[in-house]
């Protein structure tokens, strides 16, 4: 078959995007893609027909990431494939957030005394801020893709009855509340951050900008934690509500996300602050 090619020309480097996300460039080489590019463009190609599902997955992932991708005929993602890519993105984001939370739960023990109070308030606060940042960065995936996923999940809920319908309804209500709160936090923070940015995007005051970012991450924690608790169930409902099954769900993943757990971590470390 002819080579599968994916190209993009933009001031923002697709090549850099592939290189920095999940060591994806190395994975693409491992899968058998030849990759060439520089700061302005990238080309991926292979003559292996078995890589077509993976190539289509990549195009869909780049599409939902907001990148302008030009692909050869046969690679343009369909609506079911885009829906599948959204679910994959959510699963990977949940894995990152849960990894950060599990690390915090382990490390926070050493930062507290036997009564659970921080031994060093500054060290504890800095480490907590790192958790907030990691959680918010992962949570932005839900802010981007939450509405379409909720629409898919709603299609599933409508086919359920009894206790199953009530359980699905509860999950969707919590996810809508999480999304609403997250959007409000994001919008409020962006108004402040926009005021603190120069025309070229650099901060007018680095300390003030950093404080505004940290405040956003902190205020977004409870919405992000709600998403972490119920996000896996939302992905499951959304997958069941997909209009047409797609082979992308079985295609090799380019991200290698870890398994996601919805188990609530201990409350004093995970849901609350001192």
Give domain limits for the chain.
4-71, 80-270
Pick from 31-45, 157-171, 244-258 the range whose average pLDDT is largest: 157-171
At residue 178, the pLDDT reads 93
The confidence band for 108, taking pLDDT boundaries of 50, 70 and 90, is confident
Highest mean pLDDT among 54-68, 144-158, 166-180: 166-180
Mean pLDDT along residues 4-21: 50
The pLDDT assigned to 116 comes to 73
Task: State in words which class domain 4-71 has.
Answer: alpha beta
Please state the rounded mean pLDDT for residues 163-188.
92
pLDDT at 225 over 60: yes
Mean pLDDT of the chain: 74
Q: What is the mean pLDDT of residues 35-53?
A: 64
pLDDT band at 10 (very low <50, low <70, confident <90, very high): very low
Paired residues of 128 in beta bridges: none
């Amino acid at each position: 078959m002819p080579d599968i090619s994916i190209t993009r020309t933009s001031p923002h480097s697709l090549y850099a995007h592939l290189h920095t996300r999940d060591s994806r460039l190395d994975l693409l080489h491992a899968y058998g893609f030849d990759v060439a590019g520089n700061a302005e463009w990238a080309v991926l190609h292979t003559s292996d027909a078995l890589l077509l599902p993976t190539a289509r997955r990549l195009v869909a992932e780049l599409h939902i990431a907001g990148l302008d991708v030009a692909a050869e005929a046969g690679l343009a993602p369909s609506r079911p494939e885009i829906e599948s890519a959204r679910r994959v993105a959510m699963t990977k984001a949940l894995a990152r957030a849960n990894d950060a939370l599990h690390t915090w739960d382990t490390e926070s023990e050493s930062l507290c005394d036997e009564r659970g109070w921080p031994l060093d308030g500054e060290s504890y606060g800095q480490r907590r801020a790192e958790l907030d940042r990691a959680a918010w960065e992962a949570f932005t995936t839900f802010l981007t893709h939450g509405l379409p996923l909720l629409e898919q999940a709603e299609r599933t809920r409508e086919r359920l009855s009894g206790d199953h319908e009530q359980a699905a309804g509860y999950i969707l209500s919590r996810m809508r509340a999480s999304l609403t709160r997250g959007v409000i936090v994001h919008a409020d923070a962006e108004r402040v951050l926009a005021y603190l940015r120069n025309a070229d995007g650099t901060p007018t005051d680095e300390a003030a900008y950093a404080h505004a970012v940290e405040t956003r991450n902190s205020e977004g924690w409870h919405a992000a934690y709600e998403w972490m608790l119920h996000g896996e169930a939302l992905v499951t409902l959304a997958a069941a509500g997909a209009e047409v099954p797609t082979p992308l769900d079985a295609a090799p993943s380019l991200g290698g996300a870890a398994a996601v757990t919805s188990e609530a971590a201990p409350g004093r470390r995970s849901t609350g602050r001192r």
